[in-house]
Amino acid sequence: MYLQELQNVFGANATFRDGQETAINSILNKKRVLVVQKTGWGKSLVYFLATKILRQRGEGVTLIISPLLALTRNQIDSTEKYGIVAECINSQINKTKEERADVVNRCNDGECDVLFITPEQLQNEDFVRLLSQLEIGLFVVDEAHCISDWGHDFRPDYRRIHHLLEILPENIAVLATTATANNRVIEDIAAQLGECEIVRGDLQRESLYLHKVFLPTAEEKYAWIAKNLEWLEGSGIIYATTIKECERLAIWLRQNAINASAYHSGLNEEVKIDLENRLSSNELRVLVCTIALGMGYDKEDISFVIHYYTPKSVVEHYQQIGRAGRGIDQAVCVLLYGGEEENKINEYFIYNSFPKQEHINQVLHFLNQNDEVKKSSLEQEMNIKSSTLDQILKLLLIEGFIGKDSRSRYFRTLKPYISQQSYYNSVIDMKVREYQELLDFQQTKECQMAYLTSALDDPNSKSCGKCSTCLGGAWDLTNDVLVSDDIAKVSQFFDKNYILIEPRKRSAVTNKKLEFIHEEGLALSYYHEQLGQEARRGKYVNNKFSDVLVNASADKLRRFLREKEIDIKELVIVPIPSNRRPKLVPEFAERLANTLQCKYIEILAKRINEPEQKSLLNSRLQEQSIRDHLYIQNHVNINNKDILLVDDFVDSRWTFSIATDLLGEVYEDITITPFALADTSGSD
């Protein structure tokens, strides 16, 4: 029926792949279609060809919601082949309101046929207002598993898509596509689409060579990665869950002469697009990333995907390895697993997906009692962690229980509140089950591809004959033998790699710049690492920090201070006081001073009845509490000195920053460098 159109693009011999013509036909009849087909099947062909025909019929443009940040050269080329024009709106190429309005005008004037936007943009009210002017004929949701799988918690942005699907008039066709969905997800998407046709094929990818390795320590994983990046060819992606781990891994790789960069949600959009482009153009060899890099990213020749941590579900895992081997015959996907830590991190993510009901109630109650409220008043009124408060507000906004006006003030809507707790719990239960499925994957003796595709309910799931399970001893795509020298190098790196303490620059109470700011400081360890756990035992079990900690601290500080050109002989160590454990830190600090052979002076003290720092959940309360309690008790002269402030754990950094502020006000020409045994941030 549309063969002629296909052949106009792909040549006289082209034929449709199974299901493509059905999908196009349904779209042209303004039906709703869900396509579940593996990467490379030709999903974009469906919407590009359909767009072409719709445009010939005088219909509006195709709007594609895709997690893709920017169009790649590749995609622009491919739309040219179809004789249609694609554009996207993102923060890099069309930042201003005018530029964006121009894109919409071009679409309405027939100069552009396909518009790509990201789901996040749908959260922006101005943007939705602009999109209201767009004349569309086809609405496409790419990576549609997100409207089911993540839609409700990690990616609340997809909730708006759900709304659109409920209200879009029947003269607009809808296409949802995904390469990764099990039956549950398919049912869920289909329910959201309403009456729809499902085009589903098998998921097995011929180009992927799967492998998994048990490596229970960070040292072994780092060593394996360094060794195998020499072994593997081409460029690739390493998934590592936390931002800190991504950054540390990227440093490690660079140190091993591998051109790598970290990619995570802490970066702004421009930087992310730049990194994606640099990987695409092979300027970078490896991106070490969190799930922030995901589905939209499309490079033809990704030849390896390595998982440093086990992902949270089969859907997520398959999605991520699916980035590999799109346009090449062979790509290696390796899961590194083992160790307590990875389970802890994933469980943390799973169980903290939703805020506590008690906190939600607090926020709602306050909004109920008031007209319009700024976020800062909410922070002041309630003891809720700032990121949790953000999460609560976002959830409540999405559920329609609160609104936000153009001046960023929040207000309660008239929608009666129904607790979402049982729903949240059911989502958490489901996540626990899905994570378990991947933990079972670690142990499985089945073909790895068969395991994954059958977990995705692929009816044609079968053994692949190329994974490390199928091949057994014949597997030679990686080198899994690590010698003690490999591991020693990592230990050395961990040792030298500084965990920095950045100063706070602005008061959370007054929102003014702080007058005195400390130097970049140092933490000996992360809380979850061995030394961090040694410090935990010292504080909570033995009430004394061990010599191991004193010596490790001294070693690391010597090197660190030398690099900062601080003369240890002139250094003064000042402990952070505590009324709860008055001896613990001073005693340690004094031993450290003896080991380093520098001065030791107690200057600061605390007023009584200070609440425990970790019980205060947001910056404003934390800073205020420290300001209320910390003071200079002992006015010795330390003008012109370099001071090392010593504490056990650092989390919010307010203690160091306020202590600096106090000292800086009294003494002249001093520098202050903070030091803590462990960085506990993000590990509560």
Partner 1 sequence: MQFTNNEIATYLFCAQLAQTKTTPLTIIEWNTVVKSLSEQKMQPEVLFKITPSELLKALTKATEAQKIKIVKKIAARQKLGISMLELKEIVHQGYGIMFRAQMPISLKKLTQNFIPAFFYYVGDTTILSHPILGVVGARDANADELSQTAEIAKKAVSNGVVIISGGAKGVDTTAVEASLENGGKAIVFPAEGLAKWVKKSTIRNYISNGQLLLMSAQRLDAPFSGSYAMQRNKFIHAPSNAVLVTSSKISGKKLSGTWEGVLENIKHQWSPLFVLGNSEGVEKLKVDGNAKQFSSFEEIFKQSDSTKMKTQSEIDEKIVSLVQLAIAKGMEKEVIEKKFLEISAKYYKNYEGSRLDNQRTLQDSLAQEQLEMKL
Ligand X SMILES: Nc1ncnc2c1ncn2[C@@H]1O[C@H](COP(=O)(O)OP(=O)(O)O)[C@@H](O)[C@H]1O
Binding footprint of partner 1 on the chain (CB under 8 A): 59-60, 63, 128-137, 139, 160, 163-164, 166-172, 368-372, 400, 403, 405, 411-416
By beta-carbon proximity to ligand X, the closer residue of 66 and 468 is 66
Residues 367, 124, 94: CA angle, nearest 5 degrees: 155
By beta-carbon proximity to partner 1, the closer residue of 109 and 476 is 109
Q: Which does 172 bind (CB under 5 to 8 A by kind): Zn ion, ligand X, partner 1, none?
A: partner 1
Q: Which does 470 bind (CB under 5 to 8 A by kind): Zn ion, ligand X, partner 1, none?
A: Zn ion
By beta-carbon proximity to partner 1, the closer residue of 76 and 128 is 128
Distance CA 46, CA 364 (A): 45
Which pair of tokens denotes residue 191? 């329910």
By beta-carbon proximity to partner 1, the closer residue of 30 and 356 is 30
Q: How far is the CB of 108 from partner 1 (least distance, A)?
A: 9
Strand order in 86-88's β-sheet?
A: 86-88, 114-117, 61-65, 136-141, 173-178, 32-36, 197-200
464 binds Zn ion (CB under 5 A): yes
39 binds ligand X (CB under 6 A): yes
| CA dihedral sign, ordered 299, 303, 309, 313 | positive
Q: How far is the CB of 445 from Zn ion (least distance, A)?
A: 11
Q: Which does 216 bind (CB under 5 to 8 A by kind): Zn ion, partner 1, ligand X, none?
A: none
Torsion angle (degrees, nearest 10) of CA 367, 371, 375, 377 = -90
Taking CB atoms, the residue at the shortest distance from ligand X is: 42
Nearest residue to 155 via CA among 128, 178, 121, 199: 121
Stretch that binds ligand X, among 41-49, 55-63, 222-230, 519-527 (CB under 6 A): 41-49
By beta-carbon proximity to partner 1, the closer residue of 234 and 403 is 403
By beta-carbon proximity to ligand X, the closer residue of 20 and 204 is 20
Q: Which does 240 bind (CB under 5 to 8 A by kind): ligand X, partner 1, Zn ion, none?
A: none
Nearest residue to 427 via CA among 344, 355, 343: 355
| CA dihedral sign, ordered 422, 417, 355, 290 | positive
Pairing status of strand 136-141 against strand 173-178: parallel
10 binds ligand X (CB under 6 A): yes
From residue 274, how far is each of 64, 263, 283 by CA, in Å?
22, 10, 11
Q: Which does 487 bind (CB under 5 to 8 A by kind): partner 1, Zn ion, ligand X, none?
A: none
Q: How far is the CB of 113 from partner 1 (least distance, A)?
A: 13
Stretch that binds Zn ion, among 115-123, 162-170, 258-266, 439-447 (CB under 5 A): 439-447
Q: How far is the CB of 565 from partner 1 (least distance, A)?
A: 57
Which pair of tokens denotes residue 331? 């790509």
Which pair of tokens denotes residue 100? 């964006």
Question: Which residues share a beta bridge with 513?
Answer: 506
Nearest residue to 103 via CA among 621, 114, 322: 114
CB 305 within 8 A of CB 279: no
Over the window 45 to 84, marking each residue x when it contacts ligand X by CB under 6 A and - when it does not, the resulting string is x---------------------------------------
If binding means CB under 5 A, how many residues of this protein chain bind Zn ion?
A: 5
Q: Choose, by CB under 5 A, the member of 112, 324, 447, 663 that binds Zn ion.
A: 447
Question: Half-sphere exposure of residue 586, counting CA atoms within 13 Å on the CB side?
Answer: 12
SS3 174: strand
Nearest residue to 66 via CA among 89, 94, 96, 38: 89
Q: How far is the CB of 457 from Zn ion (least distance, A)?
A: 18
Q: Choose, by CB under 6 A, the member of 30, 40, 480, 517 that binds ligand X.
A: 40
From residue 366, how far is each of 25, 372, 393 by CA, in Å?
53, 10, 12
Q: Choose, by CB under 5 A, the member of 193, 467, 531, 617 that binds Zn ion.
A: 467
Q: Choose, by CB under 6 A, the member of 41, 304, 451, 494 that binds ligand X.
A: 41
Q: How far is the CB of 313 from partner 1 (least distance, A)?
A: 28
Distance CA 355, CA 573 (A): 41
Tell me which residues touch Zn ion (CB under 5 A): 447, 449, 464, 467, 470
Tell me which residues touch ligand X (CB under 6 A): 10, 14, 16-17, 20, 37, 39-45
